[in-house]
Amino acid sequence: MSTISHVIGTGISSAVQVAVVAVGGPVLVGVMRKVRCRLEGRVGPPVLQPLVDIRKLFRKQRFRPDQATWIFTLAPVMLVATVVVAAAITPLVTTHPALRASSDLFVLVYLLLVGSTLLALAGLDAGTAFGGMGSSRAVTIGALAEPALLVTILALSTTAHSSNLPAIVSAILAHPESVATPQRLFALGALLIVIVAESGRLPVDNPATHLELTMVHEAMILEYAGPDLALVTVGEAMRLTLLLGIFVNLVAPWGVATSTSVSGVVVGLASVVAKVAVVGVFLAVFEVFIAKVRLFRVPELLAGAFVLALLGVVSGLVAK
Amino acid sequence: MTAGVLVVAGALLGLGGAIAGALLPKGWRVRAATALIWAACGCEAAAAIHVLAIDRPIVLRSTELLPFTGVTLVLNSLGAFFVLLVVMVAVPATLYGIGYASHGLDTRTAACVFPLFVTTLLLVPTAGSVATFMALWELMALTSLLLVLVDHSASEASRSAGTWYAVLTHVGAATILVAFLILAAHSGGQTFAAIAVHARHLASGVRALVFMLALVGFGSKAGAVPFHVWLPKAHPEAPSPVSALMSGAMVALGVYGIVLVGDDLLGGGPVWWWLVVLVLGGASALFGSLHAASSTDLKRLLAYSTTDNIGLVLLAVGAAGLYDATRHPLLAALSLVSALVLLFNHAAFKGALFLSAGSVQVATGSRDLDRLGGLLRRMPQTGALFLVAAAAISALPPLNGFIGEWLLFQSLLHGAVIGSTAADIAIPLAVAALALTAGLTVVAFVKAVGIGFLGRPRSESADEATEVPRTMRLAVGLLVAVCVVLGVAPTLIFPAVERAVKTALPGLGTRILAHGVDLQVVGLRGMLAPAALAGSLAGAVVGIMVLRRALSRQPTPRVVEAWGCGRQLQTARMQYTATSFAEPVQRVFDDVLRPVQDLDVTHVAESRYVIESVTFANTVDDAIERSLYTPVIRAVRRWGQVARRLQPGSVHRYLAYGLGALVILLVAVAVMG
Amino acid sequence: MVIAVLLLPLAGGLVSGVVPWRRGIGWLGTVIASGVLVTGVVLAVDVVHGKPMSALGGVLRADALSAFMVIVIGVIATLATWQGVRYLGAEIAADRCTRRHAALYSVLVQAFVATMLLAVLAANLGVLWVAIEATTVVTTFLVGHRRTRSSLEASWKYIVICSVGIAMAFLGTVLVYLASLHVGHGPHPLDWTSLVAQSHQLNPGVMRLAFALIVIGYGTKVGLVPMHSWLPDAHSQAPAPVSALMSGVLLTVAFYAILRFKVIADGALGPTFPRALLVIVGLLSLLVAASLLLTQRDYKRMLAYHSVEHMGLIALGAAAGSPLAIAAVLLHILGHGLAKGVLFLASGEILLTEGTSEIERVPALLSRRPVLGGIFGFGLFALLGFPPFSLFVSELNMLRAEFQVGLGWAAAVSLVCMAVIFAAVMSHGRHLLLGPRGTDAPAMTPALVAVPLIGGLVGCAFIGVSAWPLESLLHAAARIVAP
Amino acid sequence: MSASTYTNVLGLAAAAVLLCAVVTLWRRSLGAIVRTLAVQGAALACVATVIGLHEHDVGLIVVGLLVLGAKAVVVPLLIGRVVRHDPNSRETDPLVNVPASLVAAGALTFLAFAATRSVTSLVPTTAGRLIPIGLAAMLVGFFALVTRRKAVSQIVGILLVDNGVALVAFLATAGVPLLVELGASLDVLLAVIVLRVLAIQMRSRLGSFDLDQLTELHD
Amino acid sequence: MGSLQLRHVDAGSCNGCEIEIASVFGPVYDAERFGTRLVASPRHADGVLVTGPVTRNMAVPLKKTVEATPQPRVVIAVGDCAHDCGVFRGGYGVVGSVNDVVPVDVSIPGCPPHPTAIIEALRGITRR
């Protein structure tokens, strides 16, 4: 009985997590846009504007370029699907999501990689000039972010002796004194940079650009219209939210439910939404004050993240 | 003893295949040889499975063969694993060979040598003595060399590749031979069993020398940096089934050799040996993936990616040795498991990739990515199979490549906390190498798929490409199926892997991995539920597709011209090329890759402000070849020129040599009394 | 039996000397040579487990080692005489040679074989010397058989250098004789068996000088550095069958002499001095061969230097001196004889059809003459020590023996040289064999030419896979040299 | 023959062999060189005969006579005929000039003495003490081979080497067994004949005996 | 709430209208608050914002841009020139007004139109 209720519980928690990421993602983007506009002295679009845009996009025509293949059609689905699975198995709201066994940082990284890889292929699929450019840049940045990301994971997982996310989160909850070790601070700094790079935010990429030559992510999706574009938009927003959700639960996991009880889930939900919102606002404020760096200075940024992560590992060793 | 019969029968059937290939008429020879090779594969696979099942080696001896030493075949669990690996690549590769035969594999020589090559691949892991091993090893080198040279009359590149391959593989064999002979001289016998008994008690200097020599020799076969230079030359030039076997199976045997010498014969060694292996592995992984990311020739890209994958395997082997040396048997076993799983996976997807690259070459006559494009529409099945294999090699879940890298990462992760200084330094760097390699592999294969198979065709031949014969697709399909199955249910091969690992690292009583649907590292906190992950991913994909269909007003998309910023004409030339795709990576890593760029601007005669034409060439040749091999070759050539003065043709000079020698001897004798 | 072995080529020589040359007479040489092979086998069967056979009042003596060498001579001679028919036919057809000259050639070839047989069957070291000197005289004419300026040059160098070398060997023999006189010689002075029996008593000082002279002296005929210089010239200028005989057996027959003396020297001096000497000349030979093969432009000279390399390897093997090493050396002698014989015969065919021995001017043989190119290619593989050819086995076991007796460093150096040689031969072979066919259709090689060559290679491969008929003979012969 | 006569004659004859070898280095005229060779042959024959007489070894005396016939008469005649084809031919410009050659000959003689210490100590007889002379003669002959440019000089050089070896043989062991001796002599004779044929061919083809022209075959 | 993504096409404008459009999306008028946004690709757009008379070079690109915009879509002609070629009427490089090339749904007069006029028109479309 208890196993069945546990399975149902984890299933429901996962569903809640997916839902909060799916809805919260576009909202988070709206919030960040609003914050930016306010700081720029504008009113800005409503916070829910992204949701409206998405609803509208679903009502529009679908296109497929004549040279494109099924990859073009599959990519947006895959992008969202991987984020959905990732959201389902990550301890955002509770440390007992479904498929807890696979809730591994390494798995998450590669799961998200599936979506971005397919999107990069889709960029090349239509046979246009800018799609290839975007794909090339996106995969390059992705490749350069990878060392920082994995070493960060290494640094974060040494305390828990595992890269399993629920295990890491539980370990922090069990040992609150280890929250602010230099090892974790360095690693989390690196992780934040990587998250910014991976989700195509300033200063790595400007999602609002209209100039194809400066595009990274936008250039890949120039061909998408209607529902496909909606999926891509949702996927990207979810991805950002998910990454920030993981980040906040690694920084300060308090509030996350350690069971699948209703009250725990509600508290967990509230806390994760609040924490992500805070970080989102912080990022938006930060973005107002910086400009996009040149493409070939991105490696410097990522190398910096890598060094931070490595410092994290080293300081962990020193502390031992 | 029946199992022993199977081993012998396999060898004989393989020989029969060679004879059939040599004697039968053209219409028959490839099919007959292939059938016999399958039978041979079947026998060897059965023997291997038997060995793995009973976990006791098969030992065969014959004094009639190989003068002075006789033949000793010992098939233990480690060897059996490699036999299975070879079988897994050989069956599809030979099946593919039927359709591919008209491209150089149906000549009498090739039809005879190809079965021999497969047979030696099958038998090398069963060699139980120095002489047997070297004989099979050299036969493998010879047969593969002949197969690389199949296209010699048409292609200068093939001739050059053959020379490079021959020389490097010979140097490698010579170093292996020295390593083995040192061991044999100290142990009174030349069987591996005798060597294994005595090798542990040798002086540490001798042991280190042996290991380093073996590392160089086997490393050159495995394609590890800096001995990899033959790979990007030979693999592209060989016929595709041969490339698949060379890259999938033969290269794996190089790793087999390192494990054989390092673990089986020498019984492990001090930490610094394995740090060398780790460094070699990391360098190979990074160098290989960087070059793969910047190559524009499809098969060259695959060859470099072999170096990259072998680098990862060596990382795992090195980590295993490191843990073993610091007495962490469980971690050592886990690392070695990841090494073997990585190798097995690599054999599957690299085989599939080389075979589909061959299909592309058959269909378009080119393997230059900048002349391909749009093939997924024209060769939908080949393209889809290539895509899946590329996803597998990029370690994307839920395919097998991911499982291997996850295991490697787990072993490194747990190694970071064992408290050994060497591990403390090596492990984070290894993780970084693994990560960057993984990222660059994605770049390489997004390029391979995206430029080669998607978009508009970049040449007429690519435009006119049609799907290849069914057998060829089926062969690739088999290997891709392995990739998918092992991605979803990797535990299928774990019993075999575990037996193999326990043979190499004896003394490990416990199980390494919990078997079942999920992966669980016993005693460590690492788990993975690949099947559930794959299932939920599939569910999510289907769900979202249904959702998209339900939400949108128009179920199928309208096919329109691509948005070209309003341009009137969209041509293939407007697309990104393989070179431009790789440009950012190349620019970031130009210190390592050292690309050579040639910009040639021609002005019209009337004015230097009007440009008539611009030629731009960007080539990335192998920096290691340029800075390590070219100077050596040049020095040796110069020495050869100088040495010619020894024989100037003058009889007086020649006699003077004799007189000089005589005088020296007489002086020596006079001094000795 | 022993005498029969000798009489066969003498009779053959007589017949071909009396009757003007005809194709049939040419085949007679092949029959005689195969007869030698057969008698060699019979001899081997007799002596392999039993006692050595003597003849002519103890002047001739056949033990397992001699019988083995007779077999080697018989095998290579069969191949060479077979190809000789074609050579002479072509020379006569091209009007470069009269029938009288052809007859002379046949006589000399038979005499050549006879002198080599005498050398390996001689019980007396003096007779051995006489026989080897006689090979020089006989082969000089054969080297110069083409009567061109360069063949004249080659013969001159050949005879001058070899005469001097062989004179040193004679001095060495005299000194051995001197040493034995002081122990008190038996009924047969300079008899090898009695010398071996009393070798422990021989004066070491004299023996040291003697063995040094023997190694340099016979080393000249073996083609060991520093007296190797005649070899590339003579081998490249001699008619192909003669080159095959010279490179395939003559060199090793001379080495056989060194082996015989080595037994005595080992007894008198202990293994150190002979070993050091052989290691030095062996390594020097390998080094020189490697250096000069690098920029070789003539494929016959390439093969000649390759012989220098193999003689160096054999010297190293003999230096190791264990029974295994000697057995491997002997197998190497046979394998090298077969492979080198086949290659020289094939190169003769190439020269005949292409008209030049420059590598640059004979490209892409494999495409243009598939069978001939294939034979040449596989011959090269055999010489480079690839399995299944017997040179692989013999090299492996020589090296193994070297490592066992502590000559591992020398073996390692030799492997380095072999690697350089491998690279050099590979790149020459690449120019020679590989490449586009051009416009002509591929030319066929006559079956009569191809059969013995392929046969030789198959034989070389066979004894590399399984030497069961030979193995007991090899071991018996090795026990004679390394008791 | 008394012991002192034996010693003196033997010593003189042996010294003559070495002297003749040195003289060939000295002389430039090919005719003179061949004549010196004949003298050396005679001296060698003398050595053999004297030892034969002293040892009462009939075989050795016969050998001595044979040597006289072969090396003092037949061989010089054979070579002399070649020289007569080209009487102006002279060893004008040896690779090492005459004074240096003579110095080298001296050095080689010392070397021969040093290297044969073990041999002379083994054979403490009169003849035995003279063994180094034989080796020296051989070395000087070898030196002549290395430095002399004419074909005829080289034939002579070979014979000098051969005579040196033969001298050692006579002195050390009172000659090798007869069968071997006969075979060896026959071989040498044949070799000379072959060399002569080649030399004549060379002259008819190249116009001289100059060995410097024989450098076509090289690497 | 409305949502209107626009792709701007300059079909031959004198850049007067462009300046006004720029200020429409600037901080002062801030059309974004009404759910309107300029996008980089017509595929992402709901409408095409056309300025200027349609010159010969821009006729085909304009058509292609409109075709590339998924249905339902609007074509908005901004300024007099877009409406009736304005002062450029009859020019040798002018094909005609926007309506001559693609069907126009909304026309915003003015030379150049005031930002408020543009915003008004856009709000008319989004009904906000």
Q: In this predicted model, what pLDDT tens digit does every residue of B114-136 receive, in sequence order? A: 999 999 999 999 999 999 999 99
pLDDT at residue B152 above 90? no
Give the pLDDT score at A2.
Answer: 66
Measured between its terminal Cα atoms, the distance across chain C in Å is: 26
D88 pLDDT more than 80: no
What pLDDT is attached to residue B329?
86
Q: What is the dihedral of CA A109, A111, A116, A122, to 10 degrees?
A: 160
Chain A contact set for E10 (CB, 8 A): none
Cα A10 from Cα A265, distance rounded (Å):
10
Least confident of A119-123, B420-424, D201-205: B420-424
CA distance A75 to chain E (A): 17
Q: Please indicate, yes or no, if residue C134 is contained in any of the structural domains.
A: no
Q: What is the CA radius of gyration of chain A?
A: 19
Sign of the alpha-carbon dihedral angle for A165, B329, B256, B424: positive
* Touch test A–D: 3 Cβ pairs or more under 8 Å: no
Instruction: Give me the mean pLDDT over the A226-231 stretch.
Output: 92
For residues C108 and C119, state if they share a domain: yes
Q: Is the pLDDT of residue B1 over 70?
A: no
E strands in B35-187:
58-62, 71-75
pLDDT score, position D199 = 87
Chains A and C touch (3+ CB pairs under 8 A): no
Q: Which tokens hold the place of B148?
A: 């690389």
Does the structure show a pLDDT above 60 at E1?
A: no
- pLDDT grade, residue A320 (50/70/90)? low
- pLDDT for C251 beyond 60: yes
**pLDDT for A82:** 95
- The β-bridge relationship of strands E106-108 and C60-62 is unpaired
A304 vs C96 pLDDT, higher one = A304
Q: Which of C123, C157, C191 is the last residue of a domain?
A: C123
Could you give phi then psi for residue B153, rounded to 5 degrees?
-75, -25
**Nearest residue of chain A to residue E36 (CA atoms):** A45
pLDDT attached to residue A255: 86
| Band of pLDDT at residue A194, cut at 50, 70 and 90 | very high
CA distance to partner chain B, nearest, from residue E119 (Å): 26
d(CA B492, CA B488): 10
Cβ–Cβ gap D211/B670 under 8 Å: no
Q: What is the DSSP letter of C66?
A: H
| pLDDT-based confidence at residue C382 (cuts at 50, 70, 90) | very high
Residues 318-347 of chain B with CB under 8 A from chain A are none
Are C63 and C109 members of one domain? Answer: yes
Q: Quote the strand ranges of chain A, DSSP E.
A: 63-65
Domain harbouring E24, CATH code? 3.40.50.12280
Say whether pLDDT at B645 is over 60. yes
Q: How far is B518 from chain A (nearest CA, A)?
A: 8
Cβ-based contacts of D115 with chain B (< 8 Å)? 666-667, 669-670
Q: Chains B and E: how many Cβ contacts under 8 Å?
A: 22
C157, B651: Cβ pair inside 8 Å? yes
Interchain CB distance below 8 Å, B636 and C420: yes
Is residue C450 a part of any domain in this protein?
A: yes
Residue in A45, A62, A212 nearest the CB of E40: A212
* 8-state DSSP, E47: E
Please tell me the distance in Å from E23's CA to the nearest CA on chain A: 12
Per-residue pLDDT, averaged over A136-155, amounts to 90
Other CB atoms within a 10 A radius of the CB of residue B554 amount to 16
- At C96, is the pLDDT very low, low, confident or very high (cuts 50, 70, 90)? confident
The percentage of chain B sitting over the pLDDT mark of 70, rounded to a whole number, equals 97
Contact B658 C227 (CB under 8 A): yes
Q: What is the ipTM of this complex?
A: 0.93
> What is the chain D residue with the closest CA to B648?
D218
Residues C196 and C229 in one domain: yes
Contact assignment for B563 to E61 by CB distance below 8 Å = no
Neighbouring C-alpha atoms within 13 Å toward the C-beta of D108: 26
CB D161 within 8 A of CB B659: no
| DSSP secondary structure code for residue B346 in this structure | H
Contact flag B563-E60 (C-beta cutoff 8 Å):
no
Is the pLDDT reported for residue B509 higher than 80? Answer: no
Q: How confident is the model at residue B600 (pLDDT cuts 50, 70, 90)?
A: confident
Q: B152 and C415: CB-CB below 8 Å? A: no
What residues are paired with E5 via a beta bridge? Answer: E37
Alpha helices in B326-399 (DSSP H): 329-364, 375-378, 380-393
The CA distance from B246 to the nearest CA of chain A, in Å, is: 28
Residue A1: predicted pLDDT? 43
Chain B residue whose CA is closest to E10: B566
- What backbone phi and psi angles, to 5 degrees, belong to B123? -90, -25
CA distance D162 to chain C (A): 6
- Whether the CB of B648 is below 8 Å from some CB of chain D: the reply is yes
- DSSP assignment, residue D69? I
**How confident is the model over D145-183, as pLDDT tens digits?**
999 888 888 899 999 999 999 999 888 887 777 778 888
Average pLDDT of B264-278? 92
For chain A, the domains span: 2-319
Residue numbers in B near C428 (CB within 8 A): none
Q: Is B632 on the interface with D (CB under 8 A)?
A: no
On whether any CB of chain C is under 8 Å from the CB of B138, the answer is yes
Q: How far apart are CA A244 and CA A247, in angstroms?
A: 5
E3 and A48 within 8 Å at the Cβ level: the answer is no
Residue D153: closest C-alpha in chain C: C160
- The answer to whether C85 and C27 have CB atoms below 8 angstroms apart is yes
Cα–Cα–Cα angle for B623, B627, B628, nearest 5°?
Answer: 110
Q: Where are the alpha helices (DSSP H) in D2-150?
A: 3-26, 30-55, 58-67, 75-85, 98-115, 117-122, 126-129, 131-147
Tell me how long chain D is.
Answer: 219
Give chain C positions within 8 Å (CB) of D153: none
**Which residues in A lie closer than 8 A to residue B560 (C-beta atoms)?**
63-66
B&C contacts, CB < 8 Å: 185
Count of CB atoms within 10 A of residue C390's CB?
Answer: 29
Q: Are both C415 and C286 inside the same structural domain?
A: yes
- Residues from chain B contacting residue C295 (CB–CB below 8 Å): 637, 640-641, 643-644
CB contact under 8 A, B67 and C331: yes
Q: Do C126 and D184 touch (CB under 8 A)?
A: yes
Query: In angstroms, what separates the C-alpha of B462 from chain E's closest C-alpha?
Result: 28
CB D7 within 8 A of CB D126: yes
* pLDDT score at B79: 94
Q: What is the rounded average pLDDT of the residues B598-625?
A: 84
Q: How far apart are CA E95 and CA E59, in angstroms?
A: 7
Chain A nearest-CA distance from E62, in A, is 17
* Nearest residue to C91 via CA among C142, C135, C29: C142
Quick one: pLDDT at residue B414? 84
What average pLDDT does range B14-25 have in this prediction? Answer: 93
Q: What is the mean pLDDT of residues C127-144?
A: 91
- Determine the distance in angstroms separating the CA of D23 from the nearest CA of chain C, rounded to an integer: 20
pLDDT of residue B516: 62
CB of E127 within 8 Å of any CB in chain A? no
Residues C248 and C281 in one domain: no
Min distance D112 CA to chain B CA atoms (Å): 8
Residues of B in contact with C331 (CB under 8 A): 67-68
Q: Would the CB atoms of A151 and B431 count as touching at under 8 Å? A: yes
Task: For chain E, list the contacting chains (3+ Cβ pairs, <8 Å).
Answer: A, B
* Beta strands C53-55; B519-521: pairing state: unpaired
What's the rounded mean pLDDT across residues C223-244? 92
Q: CA of E124 to nearest chain A CA: how many angstroms apart?
A: 17
Give the number of other CB atoms < 10 A from CB of residue B664. 13
- State how far the Cα of B621 lies from the Cα of C331, in Å rounded to an integer: 45
Beta bridge partners of B519: B528
pLDDT-above-90 percentage for chain C = 65
Q: Give the helix/strand (H/E) hosting E38.
A: strand E36-38
Check CB contact under 8 Å for B432 and A149.
Answer: no
How big is chain E by its Cα radius of gyration, in Å? 13
Chain C residues with beta carbon closer than 8 angstroms to that of D180: 124, 126-127, 129-130, 190
Q: Which residues on B lie below 8 Å from C470 (Cβ)?
A: 67
Average pLDDT over residues C90-112: 88
Dig out the tokens for A141 from the structure. 């940045």
pLDDT in tens, C268-316: 999 899 999 999 999 999 999 999 999 899 999 999 999 999 999 999 9
Output DSSP code: residue A293.
Answer: P
* Count of domains forming chain E: 1
| Short-list B130, B133, B236, CA closest to B184 | B130
The mean pLDDT of C341-356, rounded to a whole number, is 92
Q: What is the pLDDT of residues A217-228, one digit of tens each?
A: 888 998 999 899
Task: Determine whether the interchain pair C408/B181 forms a contact, defined as Cβ–Cβ distance below 8 Å.
Answer: yes
Residue from A77, A116, A296 to probe the interface with B (highest B Cβ count within 10 Å): A77
Query: Whole domain around residue C281: which residue ranges?
Result: 272-483
- pLDDT, tens only, A269-311: 999 999 999 999 999 999 999 888 888 888 899 999 999 998 8
The mean pLDDT of chain B is 91
What is the SS3 string spanning C442-453?
Answer: CCCCCHHHHHHH
Residue B638 reports pLDDT greater than 60: yes
List chains touching D (3+ CB pairs under 8 A).
B, C
**Which residues 6+ apart lie within 8 Å of A169 measured at CB?**
A91, A95, A249, A250, A253, A256
pLDDT per position as a tens digit, A32-71: 999 999 998 888 899 999 999 999 999 899 999 988 999 9
Average pLDDT over residues C13-33: 84
Closest CA to C339 of C291, C307, C296: C307
Res B647 pLDDT > 50: yes
Report which secondary-structure segment, H or E, holds C239.
Answer: none
pLDDT at residue D120 greater than cutoff 80: yes
Residue window 183-202, chain B: list those with CB within 8 Å of chain C.
184-185, 190
Report the distance separating Cα C387 and Cα C407, nearest Å.
24
Which of B649, B650, B655 is nearest residue D145 as measured by Cβ atoms? Answer: B655
Query: Which residue among D142, D146, D218 sits closest to B648, beta carbon to beta carbon?
Result: D218
The CB density around residue D124, as the number of other CB atoms within 10 Å, is 8
Q: pLDDT over 90 for what percent of chain E?
A: 66
pLDDT at A174 exceeding the cut of 80: yes
Contact B656 D117 (CB under 8 A): no
- Which range marks the domain in which residue E62 is found? 4-126
Task: Test A121 with B397 for CB contact under 8 angstroms.
Answer: no
Q: Is residue C140 situated within a structural domain?
A: no
